[in-house]
Structure 1
Amino acid sequence: MSSEVPVPRTAVPLGITDPVERARAELKATLAAIEVKANVPRRVERATTRARRTARAFSRQNPVGATAIVVAGATAVGALVWSIVRAYTR
């Protein structure tokens, strides 16, 4: 009974004895690792999804706190815009 453990795309499977096959597997794993690290839009999307999930969970658990955070954020943005416009018009 051979139960093989799945190998991540960025890893080289064990037990490859042929040097050519091993070099190909290493190149494939290296390219996959570069793709994972360099794919900034996908990383941003995942981080945004995580942040959204966390914010929704927080707002379900603490609706008053979530409302206070939104109000404080809106106030900060309003104050920033007001100060920029005031400085520009002077």
Structure 2
Amino acid sequence: MTSELSLPRTAVPLGITDPVESARAELKAALAAIEEKANVPKRVAKATDRGVTQARAFAQRQPAAAVAAVVGVAAAVGVFVWGAVRLYTR
């Protein structure tokens, strides 16, 4: 096989002249793309990791604002839960 640099799994390598090999490479790339798109737990894990990394960077850059954001979110969740329980118990 030709020397491949670092191709993504969803890419079809260039220079394939055999139509059967070309079809196989295209099918392999299409299946990889479908797997990437349909694997929701993996996508959620990646998004969560990105969010945690961004939150940590924000907390290191602006600790006071990070504390204020945490307190604000906690207060909003508390008000939401209080309101939901109050509506439920009426």
Distance 1:8 1:85 in 2: 49
Q: What residue in structure 2 maps to residue 7 of structure 1?
A: 7
What is the alpha-carbon distance in structure 2 between the residues aligned to residue 5 and residue 42 of structure 1? Answer: 25
Identity of matched residues, %: 65
The 10-residue stretch of structure 1 (68-77 or 47-56) with the greater mean CA deviation from structure 2: 68-77
Count of residues in correspondence between the two structures: 89
- Equivalence for 1:37: 37
Q: Determine the C-alpha separation between the residues in 1 that align with 2:74 and 2:6.
A: 48
Aligned pairs for 1:10-89 within 5 A: 10-89=10-89
**1:57-81: CA deviations, max 9, x gaps?**
1111111111111111111111111
Counterparts of 1:11 and 1:3, CA distance in 2: 15
RMSD, aligned α-carbons: 1.6
Are the structure 2 counterparts of residues 21 and 86 from structure 1 closer, same or farther at C-alpha, using a change threshold of 3 Å?
A: same
The alpha carbon displacement at 1:19 in A equals: 0.9
Counterpart amino acid of 2:89?
A: T
Moved segments of 4+, more than 6 Å = none
Q: Distance in 2 between matches of 1:4 and 1:50?
A: 29
Deviates more, 1:49-58 or 1:76-85: 76-85
State the distance in 2 between where 1:78 and 1:7 align.
48
Unmatched runs of 5 consecutive residues or more in structure 1 = none
Normalising by structure 2, what TM-score?
A: 0.88
> Which segments of 5 or more consecutive residues in structure 2 lack a partner in the other structure?
none
Quick one: distance in 1 between partners of 2:51 and 2:12?
A: 32
Q: Measure how far apart 1:53 and its partner are.
A: 0.3
Tell me the TM-score normalised to structure 1 length. 0.88
